[in-house]
């Protein structure tokens, strides 16, 4: 397993639409292993492949709390096949937008169809944190970040600050 670099916004590679995966094979499982390790290390609870610069429809997730046994989940080519009519607000964060948290409104529950780690077709009814997280990660596959759900003003403020921090970091390394 290898730790990968997580892309930080603003980065054009985060806006790329991810392609469906043709086959769940050892190469893809190796990518998922790297993603899980990278996400745990960050630490985070969800990561889309595009966040490490691989524009494939692959998501890893682990919602286990600190001190609990890990509960890795893998979603390949996920699609939402049902969503609830009621919405929930939840404060979201993202490994590609470090240190920013904002409320986002999304359907409270969704049903997702996807391929798992072994390439088997599965369906999952997602509620609460799982529903928030899968919708957030599936947005990444469309090149959408959680700040894209906010007002333009808020989004620009956050992206400007991140951009400034990146330039500062680059200058310090130079
Ligand atoms: Ni994210």
Q: What is the pLDDT of residues 28-75, one digit of tens each?
A: 999 999 999 999 999 999 999 999 999 999 999 999 988 899 999 999
Residue 4 lies in a domain: no
Specify the pTM.
Answer: 0.96
**Phi first, then psi: what are they for 88, rounded to 5°?**
-130, 150
Residue 139 lies in a domain: yes
Alpha carbons 151 and 120: distance in angstroms, whole number: 39
Residue 66 lies in a domain: yes
Give the H or E element holding residue 90: strand 87-92
Q: Could you tell me how many helices (H) and strands (E) the chain has, helices first?
A: 3, 7
Q: What is the pLDDT of residues 98-152, one digit of tens each?
A: 999 999 999 999 999 999 999 999 999 999 999 999 999 999 999 999 999 999 9
Q: Decide if 137 is catalytic.
A: yes
Q: Give the Cα-Cα-Cα angle 89, 12, 78 (nearest 5 degrees).
A: 50
Which structural domain range is residue 103 located in?
12-173
Q: What is the CATH number of the domain that holds 163?
A: 3.90.45.10
Total domains, the chain = 1
Does residue 173 have a pLDDT over 90?
no
Residue 20 lies in a domain: yes
Residue 1 lies in a domain: no
- Distance, CA 124 to ligand 1 centroid (Å)? 20
Residue 22 lies in a domain: yes
> What integer pLDDT is reported at residue 105 of this predicted model?
97
- Distance, CA 160 to ligand 1 centroid (Å)? 18
Residue 30 lies in a domain: yes
Q: Which chain residues have CB less than 5 Å from ligand 1, an ion?
A: 94
- Distance, CA 138 to ligand 1 centroid (Å)? 9
Listing from the earlier edge strand, what are the strands of the sheet with 110-115?
Answer: 46-48, 58-62, 72-83, 110-115, 121-126
- Distance, CA 21 to ligand 1 centroid (Å)? 20
Residue 2 lies in a domain: no
């Amino acid at each position: 397993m290898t730790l990968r670099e997580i892309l930080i916004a603003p980065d054009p590679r985060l806006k790329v639409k991810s392609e469906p995966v043709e086959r769940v094979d050892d190469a893809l499982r190796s990518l998922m292993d790297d993603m899980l390790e990278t996400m745990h290390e960050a630490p985070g609870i969800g990561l889309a492949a595009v966040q490490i610069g691989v524009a494939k429809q692959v998501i890893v997730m682990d919602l286990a709390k600190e001190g609990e046994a890990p509960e890795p989940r893998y979603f390949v080519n996920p699609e939402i096949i049902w969503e609830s009519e009621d919405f929930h607000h939840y404060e979201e964060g993202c490994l590609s937008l470090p240190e920013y948290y904002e409320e986002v409104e999304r359907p409270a529950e969704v049903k997702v169809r996807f391929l798992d780690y072994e390439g088997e077709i599965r369906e999952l009814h997602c509620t609460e944190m799982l529903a928030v997280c899968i919708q957030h990660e599936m947005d990444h596959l469309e090149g959408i970040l959680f700040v894209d759900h906010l007002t333009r003003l808020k989004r620009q403020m956050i992206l400007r600050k991140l951009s400034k921090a990146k330039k500062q970091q680059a200058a310090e390394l130079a």
